[in-house]
Amino acid sequence: MDAHQVRVVLLDIEGTTTPIDFVYKTLFPYATSKAESFLREHSSEPEIVPVIRDLQAQHDADTRQGLDPPFWRDDSEEARIRSAAGYVRWLIARDSKCTPLKSLQGKIWQQGFDSGELHGEVYDDVPRAFARWRKQGRNICIYSSGSVQAQQLLFRTVESGDLTPQISAYFDTQTGIKTAADSYRQIAKSLGRSPGEVLFLSDSPKEIDASRAAGMHALLCQREPVSAAAESISKFDGVFPR
């Protein structure tokens, strides 16, 4: 990889910039516990109405596929809210990446971040890597299955300070699934860059393969490496160190 050629560092979040435990032991349980009360409070708002509609459409699709989601009742507003909340909890337990779930989670998490119940978390090498890459003139972008809103909330509230001024763009599942090469081509195109000008860092081998298939450079991020895998890193300190 020609370091001078790379103008964009594209980053996954879970297991790459942020500990997996923060997602599974903090964010997911928070959304699970707040889903019903949030829907009851906001179900009639213009931003939430289409999310519930999309959740019901996803529920119908899951039913057709034989996935046996919890029953959805629509005979009253209360039944609909309870059904939507139960389905959301079911999706979270399955670690679903579906877009309406991610959208709703982002809105629930915003409430938690705004109230101070939640704070973003990143590995200690992330802030200094961001500062270094920006000083080098490289753009930093995020690509995560979590909604753009959730991404921004996380990086805005980390203990070391707001990191969002250093991030140029955010991408989520509306761009495409993270294991499809076309998603990475679309990201490069939207940034006005060729794929060869982008380095992607992720803890997912399938995502690494997809980004490379699109023509990007890529490194596997193993925060707790179990093997000395070729072309992998455990910290950002060695990525464009100077």
All residues at 6 or more sequence positions from 164 whose CB lies less than 8 Å from its CB, including other chains: 152, 155, 156
Give the pTM: 0.88
Q: Do 37 and 145 belong to one domain?
A: no
CATH number at residue 160: 3.40.50.1000
CATH assignment at residue 94: 1.10.720.60
Query: What is the extent of the structural domain holding 158?
Result: 8-18+120-238
pLDDT value at 103 more than 70: yes
Statement to judge: residues 223 and 124 lie in one domain: yes
| Residue 1 domain-assigned (yes or no) | no
Average pLDDT of every residue of the chain: 95
- pLDDT tens readout for residues 104-122: 999 999 999 999 999 999 9
Nearest to 188 by CA among 148, 165, 218: 218
* Whole-Å CA distances, 16 to 41, 148, 164: 34, 17, 17
Based on its alpha-carbon atoms, the radius of gyration of the chain, rounded to whole angstroms, reads: 19
Indicate whether 100 and 194 sit together in one domain. Answer: no
Q: What is the pLDDT of residue 145?
A: 92
Band (228; pLDDT cuts 50, 70, 90): low
Assigned domain for 51 exists: yes
Q: Are 223 and 241 in contact (CB under 8 A)?
A: no
| Interval 200-224: pLDDT, tens | 999 999 999 999 999 999 999 999 8
Alpha carbons within 13 A on the beta-carbon side of 142: 27
pLDDT given for residue 227 in this prediction: 62
Confidence of residue 229 (pLDDT cuts 50, 70, 90): low
Strands of the chain (E only): list them: 8-11, 139-143, 167-171, 198-202, 217-221, 232-233
The DSSP bridge partners found for residue 217 are: 199
Residues 196 and 229 in one domain: yes
Residue 63 lies in a domain: yes
For residues 177 and 6, give the distance between their C-alpha atoms in angstroms, rounded to a whole number. 23
The answer to whether residue 226 scores a pLDDT higher than 70 is: no
Residue 152 sits in the same domain as residue 203? yes
CA angle 213, 6, 185 (to 5 degrees): 35
57 lies in the same domain as 155 = no
Q: What pLDDT is stored for residue 1 in this prediction?
A: 81
Residues 127 and 101 in one domain: no
pLDDT of residue 177: 94
Separation between Cα atoms, residue 75 and residue 77, nearest integer Å:
7
Answer yes or no: do 232 and 134 share one domain: yes
Contact, 189 vs 208, CB < 8 A?
Answer: no
Q: Of 115, 136, 160, at which residue does a domain stop?
A: 115
Residues in the chain: 242
Nearest to 31 by CA among 41, 39, 20, 21: 39
Which whole number is the average pLDDT over 84-113? 95
pLDDT at position 231 is 77
Task: Locate 241 and state its tokens.
Answer: 């160190």
Q: How far apart are CA 70 and CA 91, in angstroms?
A: 10
pLDDT band at 141 (very low <50, low <70, confident <90, very high): very high
Note the pLDDT of residue 230: 63
pLDDT for residue 42: 96
